[in-house]
């Protein structure tokens, strides 16, 4: 009996120790894993841009005047030489009561001067007729040798002087008549009203190029100042894209690089970098951070015409600048990388344990990184390893 009790107690103690050992034995860490794969890899820069026309023409008023209503609307096509709008002289200002009274009195005065000039003209005509008759009489007497030649020449001089006086009186009548018409025109101005169409000359402003109307700055008639813009023209075929890139991304680009244009509502279009502006500017982001941006100009390439696809000036578009791309590139998730003693490293899962391994990486593109050395296709990596993951730690996958 004592032996049986001792054996039973020993078994119980061993069982308790076994349970304690099982309870205290470390469990494998749950980790997220990924597989090293080979496939297409693209190193690119993505940014939002907008379309614009390479050249635009703003047609302004050449001189001050009165603008007639502009009938062209945004989107209308025009040919070079077509009339865009017309200008007429500015209406005369209205007269106040004092100015009108002065104008009426001035009209009466010039009418009186006209009457005086007409009376002087009648007098000059009568004296000229008398001088003509006297000259004819003396000429006949001279032909009969009854008067001297000097008397005939004197009468001829009197006749010529009376003719000149008559012409001067006639000119005075014309001047007085013009003054009457001018004074009457001042009184006929009623509250700044425009002249009747067709009575005054009009200036026609024509299109400098063929294109479409982009903007109509002014549509209604009214007085305009010299240099005031009225219509903006452009050619739909000259469409391009402006993308404002971060300066650190812009320095990686070169003219002629391929660009994929998408996100505008249609199929993906092809383009290429035409120009990288030499000067940047500062723009504040939505988070309040000042960013240095550089404008990059992209031309459309290929047979597709953007204008016929529905793209216009000022449209939003997503641009992907292709810096480098290749097939059969060994790549891993960027989240699997971490720094260890100045080098890049990853945790590879081997026989249920995490094994630290140094790797050599190449290009990085967002969530994917190119691997140059240290890994093989098909190996399993731990992504986003935490502080508990260390070399040799047992792990289990939570895919």
Range of the domain at 117: 97-188
Contacts of 364 (CB under 8 A, 6+ apart): 43, 334, 370
Residues 87 and 202 in one domain: yes
Q: Examine the domain organization and report whether 34 and 151 are in the same domain.
A: no
Going from the C-alpha of 129 to that of each of 133, 156, 166, the distances in angstroms are 6, 12, 10
What per-residue confidence (pLDDT) applies to 180?
85
Closest CA relative to residue 47, chosen from 337, 185, 250 = 250
* Strand 229-234 with 211-216, pairing: antiparallel
113 with 181, same domain: the answer is yes
Closest CA to 175 of 106, 114, 103: 114
* DSSP for residue 87: E
Query: 222 phi and psi, to 5 degrees?
Result: 155, 175
Strand, helix or coil at 319?
Answer: strand
Is there a domain that residue 267 lies in?
no
What does the pLDDT read at residue 191?
47
Residue 295 falls inside a structural domain? no
Shared-domain flag, residues 181 and 109: yes
Shared-domain flag, residues 144 and 211: no
Let me know whether 62 and 124 are in one domain.
no
Q: Residue 351's domain is classified under what CATH number?
A: 2.40.420.20
CA 370 vs CA 248, 299, 365, 379: distances in Å: 21, 30, 8, 15
- For 166, the enclosing helix (H) or strand (E) is helix 149-188
Helix, strand, coil share (%) of the chain residues, nearest 5? 30, 40, 30
The rounded distance, in Å, linking the Cα atoms of 138 and 150 is: 11
On whether the CB atoms of residues 257 and 322 are closer than 8 A, the answer is yes
Could you identify the residue written with the tokens 């502009």? 70
Whether 137 and 62 share a structural domain: no
Residues 108, 153 within the same domain: yes
Tens place of pLDDT for every residue, the chain, 399 residues? 566 766 676 776 676 666 665 555 567 788 888 999 999 999 999 999 999 999 999 999 999 888 989 999 998 999 999 999 999 887 766 666 777 778 778 888 888 888 888 898 899 888 888 888 888 888 888 888 888 888 888 888 888 898 898 898 889 889 888 888 888 777 766 445 555 655 677 889 999 999 999 999 988 888 899 999 999 999 988 899 999 999 999 999 999 999 999 999 888 999 999 999 999 999 998 888 999 999 999 999 977 788 778 888 889 999 999 999 999 899 999 999 999 988 999 999 988 888 999 999 999 888 899 999 999 999 999 898 888 888 888 888 875
Q: Is residue 382 part of a domain?
A: yes
Residue 293 resides in a domain: no
| Structural domain count of the chain | 3
Tell me, yes or no, whether 283 lies in a domain. Answer: no
Identify whether 315 is part of a domain. Answer: no
CA-based max dimension of the chain: 203
Residue 338 corresponds to which tokens in the numbers above? 């971490």
Q: What is the predicted pLDDT for the residue at 182?
A: 82
355 and 223, same structural domain?
no
CB 366, CB 331: distance < 8 Å = no
Same domain, 102 and 68: no
* 137 domain-assigned: yes
* 8 Å CB contact between 369 and 361: yes
Collapse the DSSP code of 289 into the 3-class scheme (helix H, G, I; strand E, B; otherwise coil) and give the result. coil
80 shares its domain with 137: no
Whether residues 364 and 219 share a domain: the answer is no
Is 49 a domain residue? no
């Amino acid at each position: 009996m004592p032996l049986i009790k001792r054996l039973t107690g020993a078994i119980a103690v061993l069982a308790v120790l076994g349970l304690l050992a099982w309870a205290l034995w470390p469990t494998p860490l749950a980790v997220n894993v990924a597989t090293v794969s080979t496939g297409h890899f693209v190193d690119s820069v993505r940014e939002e841009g907008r379309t614009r026309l390479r050249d635009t023409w703003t047609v302004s008023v050449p001189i001050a005047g009165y603008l007639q209503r502009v009938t062209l609307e945004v989107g209308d096509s025009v040919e070079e030489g077509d009339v865009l709008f017309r200008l007429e002289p500015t209406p005369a200002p209205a007269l106040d009561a004092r100015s009108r009274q002065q104008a009426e009195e001035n009209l009466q005065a010039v009418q009186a001067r006209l009457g005086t000039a007409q009376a002087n003209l009648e007098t000059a005509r009568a004296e000229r007729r008398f001088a003509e008759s006297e000259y004819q009489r003396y000429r006949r007497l001279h032909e009969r040798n009854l008067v001297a030649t000097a008397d005939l020449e004197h009468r001829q001089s009197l006749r010529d002087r009376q003719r000149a006086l008559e012409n001067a009186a006639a000119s005075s009548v014309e001047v007085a008549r013009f003054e009457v018409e001018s004074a009457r025109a001042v009184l006929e101005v009623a509250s700044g009203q425009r002249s009747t169409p067709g009575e005054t000359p009009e200036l026609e402003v024509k299109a400098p190029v063929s294109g479409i109307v982009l903007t109509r700055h002014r549509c209604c008639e009214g007085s305009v100042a010299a240099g005031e813009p009225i219509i903006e023209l452009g050619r739909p075929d000259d469409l391009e894209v402006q993308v404002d890139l971060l300066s650190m991304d812009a320095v990686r680009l070169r003219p002629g690089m391929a660009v994929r244009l998408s996100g505008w509502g249609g199929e993906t279009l092809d383009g290429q970098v035409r120009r990288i502006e030499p000067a940047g500017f500062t723009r504040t982001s939505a988070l309040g951070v000042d960013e240095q941006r550089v404008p990059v100009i992209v031309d459309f390439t290929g047979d597709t015409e953007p204008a016929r696809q529905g793209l216009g000036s000022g449209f939003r578009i997503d641009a992907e600048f292709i810096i480098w791309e290749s097939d059969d590139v060994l790549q891993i998730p960027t989240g699997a990388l971490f720094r260890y003693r100045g080098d890049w490293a990853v945790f590879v899962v081997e026989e249920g344990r995490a094994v630290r391994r140094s790797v050599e990486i190449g290009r990085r593109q967002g969530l994917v990184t190119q691997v140059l050395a240290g890994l093989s296709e098909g190996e399993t990596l731990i992504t986003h390893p935490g502080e508990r993951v260390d070399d040799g730690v047992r792990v289990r996958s939570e895919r």
